[in-house]
Amino acid sequence: MTKPVVLIAENLSPATIDALGPDFETRHCNGADRAELLAAIADVDAILIRSATQLDEEAISAAPNLKIIARAGVGLDNVDVPAATRAGVMVVNAPTSNITSAAELTMAHILASARNLGAGNSSLKAGEWKRSKLTGVELYEKTLGIIGLGRIGGLVAERARAFGMKLVGYDPYITQARAAQMGVTVMELDELFACSDFITVHMPKTPETIGMIGAEAFEKTKPGVRIVNVARGGIVDEEALAVAVADGRVAGAGIDVWATEPPEHSALMEQDCVNVTPHLGASTVEAQEKAGVAVAKSVRLALSGELVPDA
Ligand code: MLT
């Protein structure tokens, strides 16, 4: 009997394959390579992806046998969910798999920005000893503005509190009770811009959040603010940020996610006080294992006709 085919289109933890078990034929392809993806998807029953594979209407239509799309991560912004629904394809993700990793990378970027770690690292390796030029700031008693107080924003709040930071937040959906439990003072976005020494964003990418921290926001932010984006590329407008860094309104930034990945030329790459990483928020052994195992279980259930519980 032929086994259902599961296509693994991105680099996933070996635990994913173990969790799938022996009942499937597993194949691999590079989902970021469009031609390779469209050829490989043609006769598969399930596809496992992370963030680099675009499963739009064209890709979904190229897969007439497809029954389930499993996204080993939090967001679903690279999947055309309405197109999948129209085609009768189930879409699942692993919404809690990497929240700790994302929150920890956020703290790493906040600390790296406060203490000029990127510039210290690159200048020392280039043979320079720039101690006085790289004086940083403490996190203690600084105000952290958290935009988006969901699962990841909440974990960031918990960690930042341990550094003695004052926490303010913006989230249209948070209740006062939940915010109080997190120790976060909720306010309007403009107020948050005006009082925050550090701003970190933890919102999904939607038409409303694209460019949310852009030229207009940088007119309102506190002079010397530091900006972190480990959420989704484009929520912080890269060009506007580069201008605000160049003219000194923004003292530093940590950017993990990009409007286009990999990013094309960005002025941010040339700015010493901007630390950059290549979308590493979920890239830990632990997060990848949790995400891979969670989606493998969903695929097993879906392909054996069983109910897939909400993650
Ligand atoms: C996520 O949405 O969970 C991550 O962006 C996944 C990834 O790193 O590919």
Mean pLDDT (whole number) for 15-22: 93
Tell me the CA distances in angstroms from 308 to 80, 104, 295, 296, 311, one per residue in order.
Answer: 20, 30, 10, 11, 8
Atom of ligand 1 nearest to the CA of 73: 3
Sign of CA dihedral 154, 156, 160, 165: negative
State the pLDDT at residue 305: 85
For 210-240, the pLDDT digits (tens) are: 999 999 999 999 999 999 999 999 999 999 9
What is the model's pLDDT at position 288? 95
Instruction: Determine the 3-state secondary structure of 65 from DSSP.
Output: coil
For the domain made up of 99-276, give the CATH fold: Rossmann fold (3.40.50)
pLDDT category of residue 311 using cuts at 50, 70 and 90: low
If you count them, how many residues does the chain have? 311
Active site residue 232: yes
Q: What are phi and psi of 21, to 5 degrees?
A: 80, -170
**Average pLDDT of the chain to the nearest whole number:** 96
The boundaries of every CATH 3.40.50.720 domain in the chain are: 5-97+284-303, 99-276
73-130 tens-digit pLDDT = 998 999 999 999 999 999 999 999 999 999 999 999 999 999 999 999 999 999 999 9
Tell me how far the alpha carbon of residue 75 lies from the centroid of ligand 1, in angstroms. 7
Nearest alpha carbon to residue 206 among 27, 15, 77: 77
- pLDDT for 34-63, tens place per residue? 999 999 999 999 999 999 999 999 999 999
Calculate how far, in angstroms, residue 223's C-alpha sits from the geometric centre of ligand 1: 32
Q: Encoding tokens for residue 273?
A: 């006080």
Instruction: Give this prediction's pTM.
Output: 0.94
Fold annotation for 5-97+284-303:
Rossmann fold (3.40.50)
CB of 255 sitting under 6 A from ligand 1: no
Three-state secondary-structure class, residue 167:
strand
254 lines ligand 1 (CB under 6 A): no
What residue owns the CA closest to ligand 1's atom 6?
Answer: 73
